[in-house]
Structure formats: C-alpha cells, structure tokens
C-alpha cells in the first residue's frame, strides 16, 4: 500500500513548549535574524498562543518550560532535546548565545520524570534529529556535529541516517524535512516531506532511495519555512504562506491547519521549532 492510499489516523502527542515572553532579536546566529529589524514580543506571544491552543483542540498534551529572561530563543524548544521512551538526550548548543538554555532543559527533564542524558557532543536536539518510523534522521552541516549522530545511535540503539544540509537558510534538519506519519507499521515507509536542494547530492540520493513516496516540496514553500511543521499523522500544521505544500498535503489526504508564526520567523523559527515531542512515559 502506498502512502497515497493510507488512511490518515491522528495519534495522540505530548509536546513541550515555551511561551516567548522574552522574545527579541538582539544577535544573529542564522540568516533569518537581523537585530536592526524591530520585533514585537506581544505579537510573538499571541501567535505562539494560537499554536499552543490548536494542539489542545486537536487533543494533544502540552507541557510548558519557564522562559528565562536572558535567552529569547528558548521559545524554540525543539532544540532543547530529543526524547524517545522517556529518555531525554539533552542539547549542547553550537553558539554561546544559546548555551545557557541547556541546563534549563536538562533540569526540566529531571524534574518531570524523564531520564536526562547530558551529551558529550554538540547537538541541537529535535532541530536536527527526527524520528521516522524506527530510524532517526539526523542533520549535520551547520549545528549538530557528525559525532552526535554516533552518540544518539548508541544511546537509543537505533539506526541513524545522516543527512548533510548545505543551504545556511536551512540550518536545522527540521527546517528542510518534516515527518508526516509519526506512527507506522513495522517495515512500512514513513511519510515525510522535504526540500531537495537543502541537502547535498549524497543526502538527496539517500532520501530518494529510502523514501520514494516522499513529498518533494518546491523552493518557494521551503523558503517560507513551510517544512517547519508538525503532524500527528492526520492533522498537519503549516505556515499559511506554504500554499503549494498545503495543496500537496491535501492531495495525500492530510487535514491542513495554518498557523502564522511570522513574528517568530524573525528569529529563524517556526511551528516545529516551537514544538519538542515528548515520546514515551515519564514516571
């Protein structure tokens, strides 16, 4: 059965988010950030709240981590770890501007019953690690190190497929690839969508071989952070500007929900960046 014919089933998810009470852009660590461009914290909070409330309406759980005043990028919780089966692999940020977030995420995992693992290698959590069926897709090239791929392979005892990003606009894997089907039958092809030209040729070949039924998204939709999206297997939340991607999703039988996070895009983040999945039961 191809992904075109699969019935779409919504799966309950549990997410970690952080209200952007201190959001601003006063430094630049990616091409989207321009400290000279004004930001509106109240608008960032309002847009974020729409996403938060949509998750609840769709039946998902949302946990919150307290924002720290000196770390405006903490709203991008996807970078705060990678969680499978109640084990939380913590972050080790590339840039000093975000380094202070790491202890806060580790402490949150510890306080909420997860087994927190402090990493040896530089990594930015679910920004660069995406679970696709039984395998972990792992990005490198800008933020997470190649060595972190080996570290998570050992920690979670899963196959890790390394993918190299080459366009600085798409500096995390979750800006260039999204997993559409979080739960699949053993041996089945997970549904994904990706922006081919964000990857080097070798990675494009890997994706084409491993995911022949994937949605290949046009540059116009990738450039508006269309792939920085969230899916429960049936409901997919995307930027309203990614119109072509939205049409592709509807053709495959997904229900599309549009959320505008244009204010948070000024910091180089979107829907998935604001969403860390908490997989497995915390005691």
Which of 87, 81, 179 is closest to 131 using CA atoms? 179
Helix or strand run (H / E) with residue 129? strand 129-132
Which of 162, 77, 83 is closest to 117 using CA atoms? 83
> pLDDT tens digits, the chain, 283 residues: what are they?
344 545 899 999 999 999 999 999 999 999 999 999 999 999 999 999 999 999 999 999 999 999 999 999 999 999 999 999 999 999 999 999 999 999 999 999 999 999 999 999 999 999 999 999 999 999 999 999 999 999 999 999 999 999 999 999 999 999 999 999 999 988 899 999 999 999 999 999 999 999 999 999 999 999 999 999 999 999 999 999 999 999 999 999 999 999 999 999 999 999 999 999 999 875 4
How far CA 94 is from CA of 98, 114, 201, 217, 229, in Å, comes to 8, 24, 25, 28, 23
Q: Which of 52, 172, 257, 274 is catalytic?
A: 172
Helix or strand run (H / E) with residue 47? helix 41-57
CB-based contact 71:19 (threshold 8 Å): no
Please give the pLDDT value at position 3: 44
> What span, in angstroms and rounded, lies between the C-alpha atoms of 26 and 1?
50
Helix or strand run (H / E) with residue 14? strand 14-17
Q: Which of 18, 22, 60, 273 is catalytic?
A: 273
Please give the pLDDT value at position 7: 82
Tell me which fold the domain 14-277 belongs to: 3.75.10
> What span, in angstroms and rounded, lies between the C-alpha atoms of 76 and 20?
9
CB-based contact 83:92 (threshold 8 Å): no
CB-based contact 135:188 (threshold 8 Å): no
> What span, in angstroms and rounded, lies between the C-alpha atoms of 124 and 116?
15
Please give the pLDDT value at position 156: 98
Whether 4 is catalytic: no
Domain residue ranges in the chain = 14-277
Which of 228, 209, 201, 206 is closest to 217 using CA atoms? 228
**Alpha helix positions (H), 58-200:** 96-99, 101-111, 146-156
Beta bridge partners of 276: 16
Whether 257 is catalytic: no
Please give the pLDDT value at position 282: 55
């Amino acid at each position: 059965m191809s992904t075109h014919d699969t019935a779409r089933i919504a799966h309950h998810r549990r997410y970690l988010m952080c209200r952007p009470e201190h959001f601003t852009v006063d430094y630049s660590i990616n091409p989207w950030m321009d400290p000279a461009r004004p930001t509106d914290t109240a608008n960032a909070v309002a847009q974020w709240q729409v996403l938060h409330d949509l998750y609840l309406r769709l039946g998902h759980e949302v946990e919150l981590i307290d924002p720290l005043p000196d770390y405006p990028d903490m709203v991008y919780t996807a970078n705060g770890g990678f969680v499978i089966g109640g084990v939380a692999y913590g972050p080790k940020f590339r840039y000093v501007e975000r380094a202070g977030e790491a202890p806060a995420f580790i402490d949150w995992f510890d306080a909420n019953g997860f087994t927190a693992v402090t990493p040896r290698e530089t990594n930015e959590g679910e920004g660069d690690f995406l679970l696709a069926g039984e395998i972990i897709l792992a990005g490198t090239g800008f933020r997470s190190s190649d060595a972190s791929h080996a570290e998570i392979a050992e920690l979670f005892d899963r196959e890790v497929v390394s993918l190299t990003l080459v366009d600085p606009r798409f500096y995390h894997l979750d800006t260039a690839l999204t997993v559409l089907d979080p739960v699949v039958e053993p041996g089945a092809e997970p549904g994904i969508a990706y922006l081919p030209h964000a990857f080097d040729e070798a990675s494009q070949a890997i994706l084409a071989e491993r995911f022949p039924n994937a949605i290949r998204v046009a540059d116009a939709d990738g450039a508006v952070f269309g792939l920085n999206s969230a899916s429960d297997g049936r409901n997919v939340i995307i930027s309203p500007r990614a119109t072509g991607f939205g049409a592709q999703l509807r053709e495959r039988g997904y229900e599309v929900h549009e959320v505008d996070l244009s204010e948070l895009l000024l910091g180089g983040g979107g829907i998935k960046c604001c969403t860390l999945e908490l997989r497995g039961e915390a005691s």
